[in-house]
């Protein structure tokens, strides 16, 4: 049995990854180390909690003793534990530095001490900075992030992730630790915490609430289904080159407004459900990654189109109302009301023209 430690395995991407690792191979054991902060939810893994190949440890990646215990007998680490929401990092960045930078440093030190065979560090395309805006529907070549670009993070969140990327690669160059770094575009799919655009849009629409859209809604993101991202991480774990960075994108650039309109149409809602809200500080205009290296070296490519993925995601949230209603009834509701002003009706309040 090959034993793999997944940090942050009770979160959105982590829970999907844990499930994929266990289903892909019979000779794999997975240890899930998660502190269960607001976005960590053991209900995300309720279907596999009785699997004898799965072990859950509640703990902090910043605590060396906890990490040492979790790494016993582990061959590889897949490090996903992180504070991830840009808005929260703007309100207060200390927890982002602690988890994303200090936590990653602790994991790297203990992994080196334990002699793990491979350390995969999951990161984000936001570390690259911002790209010039380009209409997703317009023809022509457009600039995309490649792995060799210098990092130019523009938010406390992305700065903390860039710091952790540098640390991981430095441990490879300085100490010879086998490190692979992956950077993905915007994920969506089952079990995503409803503070992010797609689950927020779906669940608000299902509750007959307005859907908040920052600014003019024309910020462009490249969307990747979580299953495609998890396949990419698994491919990088098994076949990536040590010291290498791999981008994973969905080849699905859309404006936020296009995504929201597509979801509302799928739910039989009109554009009157859209509520434009004040833009967040430093809101990057466009992200998009070039996944050529992953295609060439790992044989990976995205399989789920955005249209298929959105339809499946909408259906999933429709069928899991108890899961997301329990989340939105708790701490998240207080955060949402503070962030967006507590809007609750379908009729938009203070919205701007869509033209």
157 is catalytic: yes
Q: What is the DSSP string of 7-63?
A: ETTTSHHHHHHHHHHHHH-TTEEEEEEE---TT--GGGGTTTTT-TTEEEEE--TT-
Distance between CA atoms of residues 222 and 184, nearest Å: 9
Q: What is the largest CA-CA distance in the chain?
A: 58
Q: Report the alpha-carbon distance of residue 229 to residue 225 in Å, rounded.
A: 7
In whole angstroms, give the CA distance from residue 334 to residue 342.
9
Phi-psi region of 208 (alpha: psi -120 to 50; beta: other; left: phi over 0): left
| Residue 317: active-site member | no
125 is catalytic: yes
Dist. CA 339–CA 91, nearest whole Å? 10
Round to whole Å and give the CA distance between 57 and 160. Answer: 25
Q: Which of the residues 157, 188, 246, 287 is marked catalytic? A: 157
Of 29, 125, 222, 275, which is the active-site residue? 125
Q: Find out whether 17 and 80 touch, Cβ atoms under 8 Å.
A: yes
From the candidates 34, 60, 83, 126, give the one annotated as an active-site residue. Answer: 126
Return d(Cα 191, Cα 193) in angstroms, integer. Answer: 6
Cα 75 from Cα 82, distance rounded (Å): 21
- As separate numbers, helices (DSSP H) first and strands (DSSP E) second, the chain gives 13, 12
- Which residues are marked as active site? 125-126, 157
């Amino acid at each position: 049995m090959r034993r793999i430690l997944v940090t942050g395995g009770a979160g959105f991407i982590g829970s999907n990854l844990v499930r994929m690792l266990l289903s892909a191979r019979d000779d794999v054991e997975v240890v899930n180390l998660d502190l269960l902060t607001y976005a960590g939810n053991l209900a995300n893994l309720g279907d596999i909690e009785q699997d004898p190949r799965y072990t859950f440890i509640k703990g902090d990646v910043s605590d060396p003793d906890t990490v040492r215990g979790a790494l016993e007998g582990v061959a590889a680490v897949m490090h996903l534990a992180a504070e991830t929401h840009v808005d929260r990092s703007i309100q207060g960045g200390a927890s982002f530095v602690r988890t994303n930078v200090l936590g990653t440093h602790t994991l790297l030190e203990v992994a080196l001490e334990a002699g793990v065979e491979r350390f995969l560090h999951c990161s984000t395309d936001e570390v690259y900075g911002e790209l010039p805006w380009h209409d997703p529907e317009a023809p022509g070549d457009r600039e995309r992030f490649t792995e060799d670009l210098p990092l130019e993070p523009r938010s406390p969140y992305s700065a903390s992730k860039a710091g952790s990327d540098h640390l991981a690669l430095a441990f490879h160059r300085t100490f010879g630790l086998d490190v692979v770094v992956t950077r993905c575009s915007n994920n969506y799919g089952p079990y995503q915490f409803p503070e992010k655009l797609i689950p927020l849009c779906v669940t608000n629409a299902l509750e007959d609430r307005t859907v908040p859209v920052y600014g003019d809604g024309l910020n462009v993101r490249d969307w990747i289904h979580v299953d495609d991202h998890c396949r990419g991480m698994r491919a990088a774990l098994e076949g990536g080159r040590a010291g290498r960075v791999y981008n994973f994108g969905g080849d699905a650039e859309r404006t936020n407004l296009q995504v929201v309109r597509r979801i509302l149409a799928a739910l039989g809602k009109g554009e009157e459900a859209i509520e434009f809200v004040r833009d967040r500080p430093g809101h990057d205009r466009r992200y998009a990654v070039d996944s050529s290296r992953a295609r060439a070296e790992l044989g990976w490519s995205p399989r789920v189109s955005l249209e298929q993925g959105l339809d499946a995601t909408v259906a999933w949230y429709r069928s899991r109302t108890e899961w997301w209603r329990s989340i939105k009834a708790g701490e998240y509701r207080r955060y949402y009301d503070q962030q967006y002003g507590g809007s609750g009706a379908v009729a938009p309040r203070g919205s701007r023209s869509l033209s």
